[in-house]
Chain A
Amino acid sequence: QSALTQPASMSGSPGQSITISCTGTSSDVGSYNYVSWYQQHPGKAPKVMIYDVTNRPSGVSDRFSGSKSGNTASLTISGLQAEDEADYYCNSYTSIGTWVFGGGTKLTVL
């Protein structure tokens, strides 16, 4: 049950687009369309931003989008805003019936 691999940190300027990657294996990300993404601000509970690879919950800005290719999933944030500065985590279902999170990416808006 190794954690999914995410970049530890990323940064971008307001208005720019960034893409956070999440690399797993053929036993998790590569085999199931049950990848989700979570945003967490300091001291707050996580919030789901994308589920089932590409689906956006009601109320989440359409600036957030998800995709997957092979064993790697991605979260793209377009038109970066100051409020997007947060930690982001990916999550996937696995072949042994468990779930696994990525190590998290700290996003800084310059």
Chain B
Amino acid sequence: QVQVVESGGGVVQPGGSLRLSCAASGFTFNSYGMHWVRQAPGKGLEWVTFIRYDGTNENYADSVKGRFTISRDNSKNTLYLQMNSLRPEDTAVYYCAKDGGGLDLWGQGTLVTVSS
């Protein structure tokens, strides 16, 4: 079954850290770039970060640059998002998405809540 499944969300205090995972199956993971996209409650989609198929290049939105790090382990078919120095405005559902024809495969998302 072709799918990506996010995990690792939860409640964290401001200034804290969290690592999200995205497990891929049913396609050749090491052939595709991958994105993280987030959606704050009741708001629109916000692109967060992208990593090339081979992990050699990453790009970040200004809102997370220097705080978030994207990585991947192609041997485990898994994408990661390390989130540090979290702020209340980082509260959102975080989706991973495969870069095929557009972002052509999305997970169900994992909710991150930053609150004291």
A contact set with B: CB distance below 8 Å: 1, 3, 36-38, 40, 45-48, 50-52, 55, 57, 87, 89, 91, 96-104
Contacts and interface: CB of A to CB of B under 8 A. Distances in A.
Secondary structure dominating the interface of A: strand
Nearest to B107: A45
Given A45-B95, A89-B44, 18 more contacts: A1-B61, A40-B45, A45-B107, A46-B37, A48-B101, A48-B102, A48-B103, A50-B102, A51-B101, A52-B102, A87-B44, A96-B59, A98-B59, A99-B35, A101-B37, A101-B44, A101-B46, A101-B47
A52 B59 contact: no
Nearest to A57: B101
Contacts, number: 63
Interface of B: 35, 37, 44-47, 50, 59-62, 95, 101-104, 106-109
B44 to A, nearest CB: 4
B62 A1 contact: yes
Given A101-B44, A104-B44, A36 B62 contact: no
B106 A52 contact: no
A99 B102 CA distance: 11
B106 A91 contact: no
A45 B108 contact: yes
17 contacts: A36-B103, A38-B45, A46-B37, A48-B101, A50-B102, A52-B102, A89-B44, A91-B45, A91-B47, A91-B103, A98-B50, A99-B47, A99-B50, A101-B37, A101-B45, A101-B47, A102-B44
